[in-house]
Amino acid sequence: MKRILLRVAYDGTDFHGWQFQPGVRTVEGELNNAITLLTGKETEVTGASRTDAGVHAMGNVAVFDTEATVPPERFAQALNTYLPEDVKVRSSEEVPADFHPRKVRCRKVYEYRIYCDRMPDPLRRRECWQVPVKMDVDKMRKAASYLVGTNDFAGFCSVHTQAESTVRTIYSIDITEGAPADGGQQIAIRICGNGFLYNMVRIIAGTLAEVGSGKHEPEWVLEALKSADRTKSGPTAPPQGLTLCEISYFPETEAVYPWV
Amino acid sequence: MKRILLRVAYDGTDFHGWQFQPGVRTVEGELNNAITLLTGKETEVTGASRTDAGVHAMGNVAVFDTEATVPPERFAQALNTYLPEDVKVRSSEEVPADFHPRKVRCRKVYEYRIYCDRMPDPLRRRECWQVPVKMDVDKMRKAASYLVGTNDFAGFCSVHTQAESTVRTIYSIDITEGAPADGGQQIAIRICGNGFLYNMVRIIAGTLAEVGSGKHEPEWVLEALKSADRTKSGPTAPPQGLTLCEISYFPETEAVYPWV
């Protein structure tokens, strides 16, 4: 029996999110189905991050156990022949039998994209939050700087969170701005942290957008953080702007997780 | 009666191309429908470029005549409320009553995108041609340089072309290369010219890809051009990589077309 880790990319637009639900299209459901078809044995994956409907991924992680004799690195290509075009495995590898993708320390990178233009752009509608006003990116960067570090993010998670602690560490928030040839302003908020509460990245994006559009000053974000009160931060930005880019697992000890 | 020019953006994935056909979804059909609903009068647009199924646009052009009293610049926003999310009008303006978008000199800019990676990326499948090998972009640039200028492009158009002359002028071909954080190689071929034959940009992209992947040397493209023989150039690259970015109309005389 081997435990296989998959790095999974998907366009979340036409999925009811990651988590398996009977009767609807989910990323987990498609992966379970492909593995079962490939190996001939009913199999269920365990995911690292149960993304919401509409949220995308370049590098979500899933593990499963199998007795199939396929070489570990070959699962990616083999599974892709059974997967629909909006979800694909980017790579596969063997991990220790006790590896659990939600119970190991990790670093996650998310990107949230905003497209600012007076008119909507059909080509960006699936992967950007489209807003009709330009943003002041320098003010957004100032506001974001208050969120970096180890903080109680109770003011930046949905009230339905099941997390025991709302303390998390954000390592960095980088905000880049592009001016595409076709006009408009393309903003990417790239956030790296050691874990995120429910809706946390989307609430951060929605809060930074309030600063970028001039509704609030950057210091308002510091107050919202200190308050630990969800009603003091900004709205939850819509799911289509969000992509889970990467999950890297830290070795607890080098000996136990030598593949990192 | 006013003649209104629309600049139209669309995600071509779910359309049977631009040109109206009864019973299927077309960009022209959606525009006719929206204008008819807005103005209360059955209206048909005339398009500048009848793009194929799967091809996208940021700035295709359509004109129509109307007696509606909507100010010309307001048609964009007003029509967008009647249009589906995968086609939107980016701007609108009044043009002279004799303006015909296919019978005036113009400059068109197309972009063809190729994503090169061993594994497919679901998030790029609608807007890139995905190939499993990396490309030598310098060789592609060398090959492209042979195509710039005024040439007979008979070897670079589909045999079904209805054009009387196959001579066209390409002003520039710029090839840029990106290395996204998620791996792979993202290539954009941006072509500016005074008009393009049927499938010409897709054949140029398919031909340059043969050079980029090492199947042919750059000079092979010069030979294909000189031969004026479709069987000597490369394959027609798939539609989803292609976007019609922009159409600019040249004034025949400054006095007649003062809006340019």
- In 3-state terms, what secondary structure has residue A212? helix
Q: Residue B240, Cα to own-chain centre: how many angstroms?
A: 11
Euclidean distance between CA atoms B180 and B213, whole angstroms: 19
| Interface ipTM | 0.83
Of B194, B6, B31, B26, give the one whose Cα is nearest residue B110. Answer: B194
Query: Residue B148 contacts by C-beta under 8 Å, 6 or more apart in sequence?
Result: B170, B171, B172, B173
> Helix H segments across A68-129?
75-80
Strand partners, A47: A62
A to B CB pairs, distance under 8 Å: 81
The residue of A11, A81, A90, A127 whose CB has the most chain B CBs within 10 angstroms, and thus the best one to mutate to test that interface, is A90
Q: What is the pLDDT of residue A104?
A: 87
Report which secondary-structure segment, H or E, holds A88.
strand A87-95
**CB neighbour list of residue A76: distance below 8 Å, 6 or more residues apart:** A6, A89, A90, A91, A92, B119
Whether the pLDDT of residue A257 is over 80: the answer is no
Residue B82 DSSP symbol: T
Does residue B71 register a pLDDT over 60? yes
Catalytic residues of A, which ones?
A: 52
Q: What is the pLDDT of residues A114-160, one digit of tens each?
A: 999 999 999 999 999 999 999 999 999 999 999 999 999 999 998 77
Interface touch A119/B88, C-beta < 8 Å: yes
- Contact state of A120 with B80 under an 8 Å Cβ cutoff: yes
Q: Which two tokens stand for residue B9?
A: 């953006």
Q: How high is the mean pLDDT of chain B?
A: 93
Give first-to-last CA distance, chain A, whole Å: 21
Smallest Cβ–Cβ distance between A119 and the set B76, B125, B243 belongs to B76
pLDDT tens figures, A44-59: 999 999 999 999 999 9
Q: Is B136 a catalytic residue?
A: no
User: Using the beta-carbon criterion (under 8 Å), do B119 and A246 form an inter-chain contact?
Assistant: no
For A93, half-sphere exposure in the C-beta direction (CA atoms, 13 angstrom radius) is 11
Q: Give A-chain residues touching B89 at CB under 8 angstroms.
A: 119
Q: Supply the Cα-derived Rg of chain B in whole angstroms.
A: 19
Chain A stretch 57-96, residues whose beta carbon is closer than 8 A to a beta carbon of chain B: 58-59, 76-77, 80, 85-91
* B121 → closest Cβ in A9, A121, A182: A9
Q: Are residues B133 and B210 in contact, defined by beta-carbon separation less than 8 angstroms?
A: no
Structure tokens at B232: 């000597």
Q: Going by DSSP bridges, is the β-strand pair B106-116/B242-249 parallel, antiparallel, or unpaired?
A: antiparallel
Task: Tell whether B246 lies on the interface with A, counting CB pairs under 8 A.
Answer: yes
Within 8 A of B86 by CB-CB distance, chain A residues are 122, 125
| pLDDT band for position B244 (cuts 50, 70, 90) | very high
Q: Among the listed ranges A102-111, A137-146, A249-258, B198-207, which one has the minimum average pLDDT value?
A: A249-258
pLDDT recorded at residue B251: 53
**Separation of alpha carbons B189 and B82, rounded Å:** 34
Q: Is the dihedral of CA B30, B35, B38, B39 positive or negative?
A: negative
SS3 A190: strand
Residue-wise pLDDT for A163-190, tens only, equals 789 999 999 999 999 888 777 899 999 9
* Phi, psi (deg, nearest 5) at residue B77: -60, -40
Q: Do B122 and A90 touch (CB under 8 A)?
A: no
Contact B88 A127 (CB under 8 A): no
Name the active-site residue from B52, B65, B86, B121. B52
CA distance B127 to chain A (A): 9
